[in-house]
């Protein structure tokens, strides 16, 4: 079964600084990877997904992630964060040709002014 590890439970950062949220998955022949954001008292919103093709994936709100097969990682990055990026971020993975996702435990991004 697929497993997903988000290495940081909390990441504090100052506004306009760059940020990287780390995600590692267990190896699989074919894997699909996702990053979601959850704002307080709301559902999830898809930031970006990797299904195949280019290893650099660009998403909404200025976020991007890079699929690294050799390191089984899919880290999320943003060059300059805003206060409004404060939220919980979830990495998810699915394999075997169908969408049965396994989620990481989440990383709380806290952006300070």
Q: Tokens 């998810």 appear where?
A: 92
Q: CB 38 → another protein: shortest distance, Å?
A: 9
Judged by beta carbon, residue 45 or residue 84, the one nearer another protein is: 45
Examine residue 58 and tell whether it contacts another protein (CB under 8 A).
no
Judged by beta carbon, residue 3 or residue 80, the one nearer another protein is: 3
Q: Which parts of the chain are beta strand (E)? A: 4-5, 10-14, 19-21, 24-25, 31-38, 44-50, 56-58, 64-68, 73-78, 87-95, 102-103, 107-112
Examine residue 46 and tell whether it contacts another protein (CB under 8 A).
yes
Contact (CB, 8 A) for 106 and 7: no
Examine residue 74 and tell whether it contacts another protein (CB under 8 A).
no
Examine residue 61 and tell whether it contacts another protein (CB under 8 A).
no
What gap in Å lies between CA 10 and CA 21, rounded to an integer?
Answer: 9
Binding residues for another protein, per CB under 8 A?
A: 32, 41-46, 49, 51, 90, 92, 94, 97-106
């Amino acid at each position: 079964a697929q497993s997903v590890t988000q290495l940081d439970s909390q990441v504090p950062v100052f506004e306009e600084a760059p940020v990287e949220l780390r995600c590692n998955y267990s190896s699989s022949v074919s894997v699909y990877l996702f990053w979601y954001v959850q704002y307080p008292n709301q559902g999830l919103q898809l930031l970006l997904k990797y299904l195949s093709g280019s290893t650099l994936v660009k998403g909404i709100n200025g976020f991007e992630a890079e699929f690294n097969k050799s390191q089984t990682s899919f880290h999320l990055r943003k060059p300059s964060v805003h206060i409004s990026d404060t939220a919980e971020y979830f990495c998810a993975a699915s394999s075997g040709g169908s969408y049965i996702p396994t989620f990481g435990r989440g990383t709380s991004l806290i952006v300070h002014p």
